[in-house]
Chains A and B, each alone.
Chain A
Amino acid sequence: MALPILDELKQELDRVYAAGSGLAKGDPRLLKYLPALTAMGRKAPVFNTMAEKLKALCEEDNTADNLLDLGNILYSVLYTQCSSPDTTAWREPSFVENSLPETKLNAAVLERLASDLEKKLANYMNISVLESLQSKGLHTDPRLFKAYCKAINGDKSNMEEFLEEKLFPTLGPAFDAFLEDEVPRALGKRLLKIKDIIERRKQRRRWI
């Protein structure tokens, strides 16, 4: 947790960075931090250095150099103040039961396909890409699961039909969680379609 005074000083200094170092000379909004920094400097020398630079920034003509020097020191200290949030009261989560499948798809195909599916740029080319991936067993890459769900619209498009009839039946139980995630977000036809797919997958597993 950063010392609050450093956060405040950062905000003031950011203002000076934006507005120009010339405004810092004699600025009471900066000068008010001098006593506190000097007091902190008795325990850690870096705050003494900061106090000196702050004084120089507010009193001397060489404002640009002094601003950059002070900024560098302040930001360095702020980085060291970062820490992971307190997790003492946190508990172990409920883990899913079904293993996440392997991530087997290469970058070149993954990024373009995921993007096209999410933007509903569903066309014959993407269907044939998916068919090709399916023939090599690569369609089960879980990084595509959210995109598959996004491509379901309830509009009976060719892509939707392909996904529902050909692709989804070959995806294991880990995919169900991704469909479930869409339920709170979906509306109208899309919601009905997603719920329908979830139900049919459950039924299929009951029969197996």
Chain B
Amino acid sequence: MTITDEFIRSYVSAAAYENGKTLASKGKLISLGQSADGSLFFAECEGSGANNYNCYLDFGKTSIPTNGCTCPSRQIPCKHVSGLLHCMQMGKTFNVVPIPEDIIKKKERRDQRAKDAGVPKKPTKTQASAALKKCEAQLEGLETAEKLLKNIAMAGLASIDASASSALAEQVKQLGNFFIPGIQNSFKELLALSAKSLKSQDYTLAIDKTNYIKALIKKAKEHVNHKIFDLNAYPLEPATALKDTTSTPIEEQIGYAWKLPELDELGLKRVNEEVVQVAFHMITDNVNGMWIDEGIWISLSDGLIFRTQAFRPFRAHRSQGPEDTTFQALSVNDMYVYPGGINPRARWNDYVQRGVEASDLKKVVAFAATDFKEASKNALNQARNPLSEKSPIFSLRVSGVKEGPNGEWAVTDDKGNAIVLKLDGFAKLLKKMTKSQLVGNALVCRFYHDISKSVLLGEPLAVVSAERITRFWS
């Protein structure tokens, strides 16, 4: 089995590459072994815990090897797998030995997951009964949440001073008993926004959040009632809740954390995807105590603009390093797309990196919308639904640029329809681009609504031409 440096760089992240190389060169990977048929390679590695970690690479089944490690790192592949690859590349000796029990169990679980993937599972009677109890608890929680919201509306957002906020926070904490963490978080965000509004006397964001929670509770009740109807019909499966489950983000908004095999069962897996990242940034969420590393990506198969989000709790900052900009294109075996949204969230585990080619960028430019009126209409339709993403991201093919009397810029399509740009931060660099760097290329843009002025603006995230991606985020 020949492993090249190029392969390792394409298989692991830059950080994992360096860390793995260090582990391998310092001899931290021990008990190097392989299976009798030469398809499985494994090793132990010292970790910070009492026991060594066991990592493996399986070249048996697919062209891209699968990997696993018993370490708690959320980075996949981790530095230990990277170290294993480096050991292989360095030509270290891997003895043919029995496969460790830890690795057998991990592989079996993984193989079973792959086998079960895409096969919808019929719940057992016990599972259906448990799910029904959960739904009933959720309904009770939604009633409580509704009363809480009503009390806030009656008292007024301006009444939420420090002591009222503290009392409300206690009530919000109780919502944690009802399997509705998404709604609980929304209330926490409302309390934080109200505190800010009290200082600034601008209640716009707090009112928006209030409206969102009202709409969410209403939709969640409808959805949970559909689920109760379906579960009560067991063993029949009327599936009245299925449409909302698969086409709207309501489950996630209530607070459900999807497992990838579940997304597969719902038909939300895309295979053999090639994707490029056009923007990346880190969001600090003080209300929920975490950082969110968000990437904006474009699919090279159909131009879908989607997001990846990695959540890093503040308390886990030592064990979980941040994600970073990805300049390479990725070939992804299995991409799981979360339900709902014009720019849905997606996740994947295994991928191979490669350089972005001119043909990739030409595809991205070709996918860009040429009718700005239609794009604006889509953005407005999104925003009218209080539960939808208010700032959808589109890619627009720029035919022309205009400047207003106060130095504002707008981009136009070939029919002259214009979208005025909101140039803040690095986006101001747009004005330092030449005409050929802008016109004829794709402007990846987040729409921004200012309802106090009734304006719709575009916030540039990146410009994609056949030669390069110019990023205004990172």
User: Do A76 and B384 have beta carbons less than 8 Å apart?
Assistant: yes
Report B398-451 residues with CB < 8 Å from chain A CB. Answer: 400-405, 408-410, 412, 418-420, 426, 429, 431-435, 437-438, 449-451
The prevalent SS among residues of B at the interface is mixed
User: Do B402 and A98 have beta carbons less than 8 Å apart?
Assistant: no
25 sample A-B contacts, Cβ–Cβ < 8 Å, listed by A number: A14-B204, A17-B206, A20-B159, A21-B153, A63-B154, A68-B149, A71-B207, A77-B384, A78-B451, A80-B383, A82-B449, A82-B455, A85-B420, A87-B410, A90-B403, A90-B418, A92-B402, A96-B431, A100-B432, A100-B434, A100-B437, A105-B474, A110-B474, A142-B429, A143-B426
- Known A93-B402, A143-B426; judge A18-B410 contact (CB<8 A): no
Which A-chain residue is minimally distant from B402 (CB atoms)? Answer: A90
The prevalent SS among residues of A at the interface is helix
Q: Does B87 contact A (CB under 8 A)?
A: no
Q: Does B95 contact A (CB under 8 A)?
A: no
- Known A14-B203, A90-B403; judge A83-B376 contact (CB<8 A): yes
How far is it, in angstroms, between the C-alpha of A93 and the C-alpha of B400 when the chains are bound?
A: 10
Q: Does A81 contact B (CB under 8 A)?
A: yes
List A contacts of B409 (CB < 8 A). Answer: 93
**Distance from B160 Cβ to chain A, minimum over Cβ atoms (Å):** 10
**Distance from A196 Cβ to chain B, minimum over Cβ atoms (Å):** 22
How far is it, in angstroms, between the C-alpha of A90 and the C-alpha of B408 when the chains are bound?
A: 9
- Known A82-B450, A93-B402; judge A18-B157 contact (CB<8 A): yes
How far is it, in angstroms, between the C-alpha of A53 and the C-alpha of B64 when the chains are bound?
A: 59
User: Do A17 and B207 have beta carbons less than 8 Å apart?
Assistant: yes
Q: Which of A68, A84, A110, A174 contacts B211 (CB 8 A)?
A: A68
Q: Which of A16, A64, A100 contacts B433 (CB 8 A)?
A: A100
Report B460-474 residues with CB < 8 Å from chain A CB. Answer: 468-474
Number of residues of chain B lying within 8 A (CB) of chain A? 72
User: Do A106 and B403 have beta carbons less than 8 Å apart?
Assistant: no
Q: Does A125 contact B (CB under 8 A)?
A: no
How far is it, in angstroms, between the C-alpha of A75 and the C-alpha of B208 when the chains are bound?
A: 8
User: Do A79 and B449 have beta carbons less than 8 Å apart?
Assistant: yes
- Known A14-B204, A72-B386; judge A104-B282 contact (CB<8 A): no
- Known A100-B432, A142-B432; judge A81-B210 contact (CB<8 A): no
**Distance from B287 Cβ to chain A, minimum over Cβ atoms (Å):** 20
List B contacts of A82 (CB < 8 A). Answer: 380, 383, 449-451, 454-456
Stretch among B4-12, B49-57, B319-327 lining the A interface: B319-327
User: Do A104 and B327 have beta carbons less than 8 Å apart?
Assistant: yes
List B contacts of A1 (CB < 8 A). Answer: 454
User: Do B325 and A106 have beta carbons less than 8 Å apart?
Assistant: yes
Which B-chain residue is minimally distant from A74 (CB atoms)? Answer: B211
List B contacts of A76 (CB < 8 A). Answer: 384-386
Interface flags for A98-138 (1: CB within 8 Å of B; 0: not) read 11101111111011000000000000000000000000000
**Distance from A174 Cβ to chain B, minimum over Cβ atoms (Å):** 7
Q: Does B150 contact A (CB under 8 A)?
A: yes
**Distance from B439 Cβ to chain A, minimum over Cβ atoms (Å):** 9
User: Do B470 and A100 have beta carbons less than 8 Å apart?
Assistant: yes
Q: Does B214 contact A (CB under 8 A)?
A: yes
Q: Does A2 contact B (CB under 8 A)?
A: yes
Which B-chain residue is minimally distant from A4 (CB atoms)? Answer: B454
How far is it, in angstroms, between the C-alpha of A20 and the C-alpha of B158 when the chains are bound?
A: 8
Q: Does A91 contact B (CB under 8 A)?
A: yes
User: Do A81 and B454 have beta carbons less than 8 Å apart?
Assistant: yes
Interface flags for A53-74 (1: CB within 8 Å of B; 0: not) read 0000000000111011101100
List A contacts of B306 (CB < 8 A). Answer: none
Interface flags for B250-272 (1: CB within 8 Å of A; 0: not) read 00000000000000000000000
Residues of A in contact with B, size category: 35 or more
Q: Does A97 contact B (CB under 8 A)?
A: yes
Q: Does B155 contact A (CB under 8 A)?
A: yes
How far is it, in angstroms, between the C-alpha of A99 and the C-alpha of B441 when the chains are bound?
A: 14
Q: Does A207 contact B (CB under 8 A)?
A: no
How far is it, in angstroms, between the C-alpha of A185 and the C-alpha of B325 when the chains are bound?
A: 33
Q: Which of B210, B400, B451 contacts A71 (CB 8 A)?
A: B210
List A contacts of B394 (CB < 8 A). Answer: none
How far is it, in angstroms, between the C-alpha of A36 and the C-alpha of B250 when the chains are bound?
A: 36
Interface flags for A137-169 (1: CB within 8 Å of B; 0: not) read 000001100000000000000000000000000
How far is it, in angstroms, between the C-alpha of A87 and the C-alpha of B154 when the chains are bound?
A: 43
Q: Does A19 contact B (CB under 8 A)?
A: yes
List B contacts of A110 (CB < 8 A). Answer: 474
**Distance from B198 Cβ to chain A, minimum over Cβ atoms (Å):** 9
List B contacts of A96 (CB < 8 A). Answer: 431-434
Q: Does B103 contact A (CB under 8 A)?
A: no
Interface flags for B320-360 (1: CB within 8 Å of A; 0: not) read 00101101000000000000000000000000000000000
How far is it, in angstroms, between the C-alpha of A96 and the C-alpha of B381 when the chains are bound?
A: 36
Q: Which of B153, B154, B435, B469 contacts A95 (CB 8 A)?
A: B435
User: Do A107 and B153 have beta carbons less than 8 Å apart?
Assistant: no
Which A-chain residue is minimally distant from B213 (CB atoms)? Answer: A68
User: Do A79 and B418 have beta carbons less than 8 Å apart?
Assistant: no
How far is it, in angstroms, between the C-alpha of A43 and the C-alpha of B431 when the chains are bound?
A: 43
Q: Does B281 contact A (CB under 8 A)?
A: yes
How far is it, in angstroms, between the C-alpha of A85 and the C-alpha of B450 when the chains are bound?
A: 12
**Distance from B377 Cβ to chain A, minimum over Cβ atoms (Å):** 9
List A contacts of B438 (CB < 8 A). Answer: 95
User: Do A83 and B454 have beta carbons less than 8 Å apart?
Assistant: yes
User: Do A17 and B153 have beta carbons less than 8 Å apart?
Assistant: yes
Q: Does A41 contact B (CB under 8 A)?
A: no
How far is it, in angstroms, between the C-alpha of A18 and the C-alpha of B159 when the chains are bound?
A: 8
How far is it, in angstroms, between the C-alpha of A96 and the C-alpha of B434 when the chains are bound?
A: 5
How far is it, in angstroms, between the C-alpha of A75 and the C-alpha of B19 when the chains are bound?
A: 51
Interface flags for A8-26 (1: CB within 8 Å of B; 0: not) read 0010001011111111000
